[in-house]
Amino acid sequence: MITVALPKGALLKDSIARFQAIGLDFSAFLDSSNRQLQIEDPTGRAKALLVRAQDVPVYVEYGQAQLGIVGYDVLREKQAKVASLADLNFGRCRMSVAVPAGSYKEPLELPPHGRVASKFVCCARDYFHQLDLPVEIIPLYGSVELGPITGMSEAIVDLVSTGRTLKENGLVEIAVLFHSTAWLIAHPLSYRLNPDCLSDWVEKLRG
């Protein structure tokens, strides 16, 4: 029996649909009255763990799950030792630098040693390092838009989908670090050893 790590949040519904399409049903996670964090497919061929999106690559890296679905943004941030197998082409969004409207037109206009708020600390740090612009990264794990609003930071680095939240808070995008979609990942050793015909499930998911 294979174990799959599924992400809570925006990717869950489409992730479950992708597994349903290949004959594995984890839809019990969509039932608001269900509090289980681990369920088994009715056919007994697989089970799924419901975890925070940021924890999916951790469960896969340490072998508690052979497969997982996670956003490319999380893969970049966590830098986990997992096998990235396929872009599943849903959950599209982008990692962007945003600032108060009318303040800066591009990241290089930010003041040296200025402050940037982000929950994606590694992604933000790497980006500004590539620009050779020294900044202080302030880790925030709630509404990062409050950073510039309160004056705690000059900018933020965050995921953007429609841009509505930025607009409603007086912020605008000035750069895109990368685009993100949902990815299928696997535990590297499990993928090589192919227990329980793991590669067959991978090929079906890729298809």
Which architecture, in CATH terms, is 2-91+181-206?
Answer: 3-Layer(aba) Sandwich (3.40)
pLDDT over 90 at 194, yes or no? no
Q: Among 152, 17, 159, which Cα is nearest to 92's?
A: 159
Q: For the chain, which residues make up each domain, given as ranges?
A: 2-91+181-206, 93-178
Predicted confidence (pLDDT) per residue in 119-160, tens digit: 999 999 999 999 999 999 999 998 999 999 999 999 999 999
Q: What is the pLDDT of residue 126?
A: 97
Phi-psi region of 124 (alpha: psi -120 to 50; beta: other; left: phi over 0): alpha
Predicted confidence (pLDDT) per residue in 35-65, tens digit: 999 999 999 999 999 999 999 999 999 999 9
> Residue 27, SS3?
helix
Is the domain defined by 93-178 classed in CATH 3.90.1150.10? no
Predicted confidence (pLDDT) per residue in 151-186, tens digit: 999 999 999 999 999 999 999 999 999 999 999 999
> Residue 49, SS3?
strand
Report which secondary-structure segment, H or E, holds 176: strand 171-180
Q: How confident is the model at residue 196 (pLDDT cuts 50, 70, 90)?
A: confident
Dihedral sign from CA coordinates of 69, 72, 73, 77? positive
Please indicate, yes or no, whether the overall pTM of this predicted structure exceeds 0.85.
yes
How far is it, in rounded angstroms, from Cα 57 to Cα 81?
8
How far is it, in rounded angstroms, from Cα 197 to Cα 191?
9
Predicted confidence (pLDDT) per residue in 21-40, tens digit: 999 999 999 998 989 999 99
Long-range CB contact pairs, 128-137, < 8 A, 24+? 131/107, 133/107, 133/108, 135/110
| Dihedral angle of Cα 176, 182, 187, 191, to the nearest 10 degrees | -120
**Beta-bridge mates of residue 138:** 117
Note whether 2-91+181-206 and 93-178 share their fold: yes
Predicted confidence (pLDDT) per residue in 96-109, tens digit: 999 999 999 999 99
Q: What is the pLDDT of residue 118?
A: 98
